[in-house]
Structure 1
């Protein structure tokens, strides 16, 4: 529920009150003097005594105050705009409860779905997303701390520590600010969100690189450690369909959280899950001077950030948020022409095209290779001579983004009887995958022995 306070010129007061009464809204009117101080108040929404309770006419301005359901804010403001009321002074306050003659009926209209679905106004969504952004000192400090925790979690191969870093990461506000700016076509919001996001990622990458280099130099981490074999790191060195899905879901959930009364803080963990570990992996690749790890993680990071921003913006559009300069009566052609005339549109399109041409192409290639390689492995395991084997998993590492010829590394895990061995299986799988994908690969087979006893 929201409590609105609107400053209205006295000459427009009757029109405003009539408009509010048509919507079953119960206003209270306060007179203000030239200095803006309240001097007396009165008001009612009852049709029988409206004239008696309304303040006396005269020069000056009146403060109109009334409670409405959250979903009704935009409708009421549009109605007041239609009668020529300019919102020179508007305050929207979150209220807990209201007891007015018609409020229960008004709530029923919106709660039963006879009016707009639950959503907050454009002004509120701007305020809400800005409140998610902490002060610069707090933002960068929390980014450094979360990057330290993420780096430690990746190096220790500890999922618990990686999740812990997501909880304290502050990136959600910056990413969703860019989404709101995109949906509402507000350049200042979009630029603010992109700048904060990029600055935070740079800080996180540098912090991870410094910590990783320090740990390696001081030998807190074994110098012989091969970071490419650490599962928490290797899983974040290449884009994939599931990682992109996480980013899209996180951005969409953020959009729903912003547009409704749902809490956004929990969504921040999902956003951080798509961003922070990848940024830490970039820093680790820099600290260990392994370009393939740093570049692969950077590609994943770019795909995820772009996915979050665009998914958040698309969700807000789906919920009905549009640029304020768009007229409801304007044709689709006029709206498209207006949109193409805005610089923000080309910045967003640039981000999308960059992602599609660079990381996006690599992502598509990786997904296609995964499908083809998995099909080839299944065909071999299900073929003659391997009836006693059971396929458990196929893991594919896009380890160096095409730098070397043997750029694909495929690890196949199978279950076998304890009394059987298959020394040539890796070679058979390698040839099958090469024939299916026309790519040179390195295949590693991991056997898990199993013993069955049947009566």
Structure 2
């Protein structure tokens, strides 16, 4: 169940109320007249079955509510309502599987924003990855993977392509490229300092590393794991179930590959640089393609469900 809070200009309130009152997925509806100061108008509150959120939001957007007012979408975690239960039962689809595109798009913009926090996490994660490689520590590799902030921007690439948001595509691409460049540069400087102090040697980088050798030796499994992990990650982001994200972060070798590129640059080891760069490219490509394909499939499925719901509403209207 979702709660819609709509700040509607007075001239649009009647149309907004009609859209909501005519939809069987709306279980409760309230109007607070003249409660909105900016914009001058009314506040409309509605409880909506999650499965119908996209259709209702699209109809409100057609009215131009988001231009002159605002539409807030909030999840209702716990609720007791017979009418709410009936509204969900009348609405095709599953609440947990529903993709609320307004929510996904907003989150994608936030996750792909290039800011100080993103850069900080990228630098810290890449530094830990570099230390993990020097110590040949799989535990530290996992820590670097979990700390890395890049998955949100990778998922945003798929959202941008499916929803045709080309500004988001450019923003997410820049965030990924610049973020990795800064993380690699900072780790390269740290590696050069460690080399000067004698803390890190050439043997640490080129010697046998059975625990972390996979970082610079990409193969078909690297691509397959990236595809599967990205599909799982996108499903976690778009559905009401988010428990799978930690597994995604641990599965994909992006941040560790960036850390190894930095060590290769600091010690002038071309095979480490090229092997890890290829690993990074394979993982990013696989994740971006899988994210796009998963979102495209979800959009196709929910388009069919929306058409089915429209037919259901039409039949209910004829009966009345």
| The two structures share one fold, judged by TM-score above 0.5 | yes
Structure 1 residue aligned with 2:291: 312
Give structure 1 stretches of 5+ with no counterpart.
Answer: 39-60, 329-455
> Which digits, 9 at most, give the CA deviation of each residue in 1:41-85, with x for residues without a partner?
xxxxxxxxxxxxxxxxxxxx543321123222113234556xx63
Residue 200 of structure 2 aligns to a residue in which SS? coil
Structure 1 residue aligned with 2:261: 282
Q: 1:77 aligns with which of 57, 75, 100?
A: 57
Larger proportion of helix: 2
Q: Determine whether 1:252 maps to 2:237.
A: no
Superposition map of 1:91-130 within 5 A = 91-100=72-81, 102-110=83-91, 114-115=92-93, 118-130=97-109
**How high is the TM-score relative to the length of structure 2?**
0.81
Residue 4 of structure 2 aligns to a residue in which SS? strand
2:26 and 2:47 in contact (8 A); partners too: no
Structure 2 residue aligned with 1:188: 167
1:29 and 1:64 in contact (8 A); partners too: yes
With over 3 angstroms needed to count, the CA separation of the structure-2 counterparts of 1:224 and 1:277, relative to structure 1, is: closer
1:227 and 1:233 in contact (8 A); partners too: no
The Cα of 1:216 is off from its aligned counterpart by: 2.3
Structure 2 Cα separation of the partners of residues 316 and 305 of structure 1 = 16
With over 3 angstroms needed to count, the CA separation of the structure-2 counterparts of 1:71 and 1:269, relative to structure 1, is: same
1:184 and 1:321 in contact (8 A); partners too: no
The Cα of 1:265 is off from its aligned counterpart by: 4.5
Structure 1 residue aligned with 2:187: 208
With over 3 angstroms needed to count, the CA separation of the structure-2 counterparts of 1:171 and 1:78, relative to structure 1, is: closer
Structure 2 residue aligned with 1:66: 46
With over 3 angstroms needed to count, the CA separation of the structure-2 counterparts of 1:26 and 1:71, relative to structure 1, is: same
With over 3 angstroms needed to count, the CA separation of the structure-2 counterparts of 1:241 and 1:128, relative to structure 1, is: same
Structure 2 residue aligned with 1:29: 31
Give structure 2 stretches of 5+ with no counterpart.
Answer: 308-320
Task: Report how many aligned residue pairs link the two structures.
Answer: 296
Say which one has the larger Rg: 1
Superposition map of 1:366-385 within 5 A = none
**Poorly superposed stretches of 4+, deviation over 6 Å:** none
Structure 2 Cα separation of the partners of residues 285 and 268 of structure 1 = 26
**How high is the TM-score relative to the length of structure 1?**
0.58
> Which digits, 9 at most, give the CA deviation of each residue in 1:80-132, with x for residues without a partner?
56xx633333121222334556212113345xxx4356223211002223444
The alignment's C-alpha RMSD in Å is 3.0
The Cα of 1:218 is off from its aligned counterpart by: 1.7
Structure 1 residue aligned with 2:71: 90
1:157 and 1:232 in contact (8 A); partners too: yes
2:137 and 2:212 in contact (8 A); partners too: no
